[in-house]
Chains A and B, each alone.
Chain A
Amino acid sequence: MAISVKEKRINDQQSLLLEGTYAVAYAVKLCRVKVITVYPITPSSAIAERLAEMVGDEELDAKYIKVESEHSAMASLIGASHVGVRTFTATSSHGLAYMHETLHWASGARLPIVMSNTNRSLGSPWSILAEQTDSLSQRDTGWIQFYCESNQEIFDTIIQSYRIAERVYIPAMINMDAFFSTHVLENIVIPSQEMVDSYLPEFKPKIKIDLNKPSAFGGVAPGDSYFEFKYKMEEDMLKAVDVAVKADNEFEEIFGRKYGIINCYLCEDAETILIMTGTAAGTGRVVIDNMRKKGKKVGLMKIRLFRPFPSRAIIDVLKNKIKIAVIDRNISRGVGGIFAQEIRAAFHNTKYHPPIFGFVAGLGGKDITPEQIENVLNYTIESDYPDREAYWLDIDV
């Protein structure tokens, strides 16, 4: 049977075995990034190392700048991005926290910087293992945020993020679980440079530092103009939901893969929906399959896009469900898991009010096991209403 040109192109992609860190570096290379700043931090260090090799071996034509801190890593990219080139850095945990001030500046200056963050817990006490509290603490910095399940998804999301960021002039942060992604070796399909080039043409910003066309950058916005700037930023951030959906659809046209801003598994006829993010969502899928075999009407929703928060898409799926369970690998102490809070807020001004059970799990890299996830679903099915903001797995449930 003859195959179409599109199918042939999709089949031409190369299958490799890569760790999450190398998948990131590979994507950055294929995106033809021009400036990379690095201040390596575990467990993202291998991203910087692999990129250094690529630049050193002249596989990647980029300026590779070693800086003295994460704060400088972002500050340098702010400078580079103003010149109108594609930029990248990788960080994690304390490194991201140290960047906090510059994250606000990058988004305020409308710079489409792309950064990967390996979700790692913050001290004290010390831990270098998986937890999302680092990036969720940056939720109000005005960056687009994605949370990824597999190395393939991380790779593809980096490529999509440049396309989205450069359309709305908002920086994007791609989050991946420490160790559960970074140090996991798994199958990944790598497209050709031509395919990526066709999806991601050269970045030509509307405004940049140009000697022939002088402009002022980073000035004072007196009076009401600051307010108007922020309004326009919010307007574009909200538009980014549709831009992300479109970028994902266009990605599928070329590469044959698609993720959705949310991803629903067996949700249609489900009565109880489990919401998860990151790598643990993969384990969640397996649990859903097992519970379906036992006749339980359960489904999984993975939230991939966190900022802008895709409230409408989420409510559309959840509105007629009987109960919702949310597992958070993060904590805002005093209110519980952060995704659970966002989902409760999304429901607030609707006429739908299913009970939303919040569960905190896997902080500091504690494994989130199939058994725990099944307990979460059984607890949710058997209880009428949650009696607290969050249940801690293995302690409360």
Chain B
Amino acid sequence: MIEIRIHGRGGQGVVVASKVLAMGFFVEGKYVQSFPFFGAERQGAPVAAFVRADDKKIHLRCKIYNPDYLIVLDQNLPFEINLTEGLKKGGIVIINSTKEPGRYNISSDFKVFTVDAGSVASKYGIGTKELPIVNTAILGAFCRITNLVNINSLKKAIKEFAPLKKKENAEAAIEIYNSINNV
């Protein structure tokens, strides 16, 4: 079973990201489960959502404590929370950021990738220029880096769950997917 934790702030689309990613796995015939961290959500406050995917039926019904992957929508969040808490050794961290991975001082037990999903989302007019919504674009990076979900499956998933600008969201994810070579 694969377990993924998605971090962001209220308003950044963490829950939609978890739904889209779950749908991507579902399109490929997997059993999936996605759910938000249950609590009061406020604009700007740290929030999280979870995704499980497996070849067989998923019985676990609790939060994810030991994820294999982390997806982070906000570049400053890693400085504010204990981001890698419970992350499995060798786990992969994908951060939407203009910074180099080394700037985050994350333990060498984990592999860190940074992708500038913000500029790509901004280019496609997703969200506002000041606050682009990167929740779908960064999933393009997830597909490329992990090879767990085909980009075409992700495209279908975005069409299903992106609330607005489905085409632009899909194109942004594909552009990010194609831009990453150093995996």
Contacts and interface: CB of A to CB of B under 8 A. Distances in A.
A69 B23 CA distance: 36
Interface in B13-32: 18-19, 22-23, 26, 31-32
Contacts of B57: 187
B38 A282 contact: no
A283 B22 contact: no
Interface in A121-153: 129, 149
A80 B26 CA distance: 40
B19 A185 contact: yes
B38 A286 contact: no
Contacts of B36: 179, 183
A282 to B, nearest CB: 4
B26 A187 contact: yes
Interface string B55-91: 0011111110100000000000000000000000000
Given A183-B38, A185-B22, A365-B38, A285 B33 contact: no
Contacts of B58: 186
Given A17-B26, A185-B19, A185-B22, A179 B61 contact: no
A183, A185, A282, A283 interface centre (most CB from chain B within 10 Å)? A185
Interface string A359-373: 000000101111000
A279 interface: yes
B65 A282 contact: no
A370 B36 CA distance: 19
A282 B26 CA distance: 20
B62 A370 contact: yes
Contacts of B114: none
Contact of A283 (B26, B35, B62): B62
B35 A369 contact: no
A280 interface: yes
Interface of B: 18-19, 22-23, 26, 31-36, 38, 57-63, 65
Given A17-B22, A129-B38, A369-B62, 15 more contacts: A179-B35, A183-B35, A183-B36, A183-B38, A185-B33, A185-B34, A186-B33, A280-B62, A282-B61, A283-B59, A283-B60, A283-B61, A285-B59, A368-B62, A370-B60
- Which 10 A-B pairs rank lowest in CB-CB distance, beginning with the nearest? A279-B61, A282-B59, A282-B61, A179-B38, A184-B35, A185-B34, A285-B59, A186-B33, A17-B26, A367-B62
28 contacts: A17-B26, A17-B32, A179-B36, A179-B38, A180-B35, A183-B35, A183-B36, A183-B38, A185-B18, A185-B22, A185-B33, A185-B35, A186-B58, A187-B26, A187-B31, A187-B32, A187-B57, A280-B62, A282-B60, A282-B61, A283-B61, A283-B62, A285-B59, A286-B60, A365-B38, A367-B63, A369-B62, A369-B63
Interface of A: 17, 129, 149, 179-180, 183-187, 279-280, 282-283, 285-286, 365, 367-370
